[in-house]
Copies of this chain bind each other. A is one copy, B any other.
Amino acid sequence: MTKKLNDKRVMRTKRLIRDTLTELMEQKGFDAITVKDITDKAMINRGTFYLHYQDKYDLLEKSEAEFFSSLEQIVRDLNPQVAISLTSQNEPFPVIVKLFDYFQETAPFLKALLGPKGDPKFQVKLKEMIKTLMRQVLLSQVNQEDLLVPEEFLLSYISSAHVGVVQYWLETGMQKSSEEMTLILAKMTLLGPGHATGLLK
């Protein structure tokens, strides 16, 4: 007998718990949250929580995993060829635009996790993913021997920069569109044929 995965009760409860987690993380930050906090706010029995998650860390892990799974799906969906191809500097990378679209959809969750009360591990994972993307771009655009800086430092620099800009964008209310953000990032990043010409007039 396999467990029933489509039970309305289970789905309702899980979504309730995860939404409550997001709300509480914005308010008090993850480590100040107790399981009791979550179940009180979600108005479910504390025992119910333990029916679905081992503890609050398990909940966080599974929520993050779900996020990254969607993110990887988005990257994978786009034809890799198209994905890593650079366009002219006045047209945004298609992948990055899609990523920003998804960031916007999941903004409350993302903002909480990337904010000052968030999870540093999550930030590391996100950087790692961007690093992988950028490594492909780098390989396709630049001869390794031409680099005057160790590749890994450059990738750390760029991926951290990108995450930092996303954080700033989230904090300031996401005033710019996905396309605008992608263009801004492209101009600041030393990659691609138009590199170093995008920043100054």
Residues of A within 8 A of B (CB): 30-31, 115-121, 123-124, 127, 142, 145-150, 152-154, 156-165, 167-168, 172, 184-185, 187-188, 190, 195-201
Tell me the number of copies of this protein: 2
Q: Are A147 and B115 in contact (CB under 8 A)?
A: no
| Residues on the B chain within 8 Å of A156, using CB | 164-165, 167-168
CB within 8 A of A119: which of B120, B146, B150, B198? B120
User: Which secondary structure dominates chain A's binding surface?
Assistant: helix
Q: Are B159 and A164 in contact (CB under 8 A)?
A: yes
Q: Are A142 and B190 in contact (CB under 8 A)?
A: no
| Residues on the B chain within 8 Å of A158, using CB | 161
| Residues on the B chain within 8 Å of A201, using CB | 145-146, 148
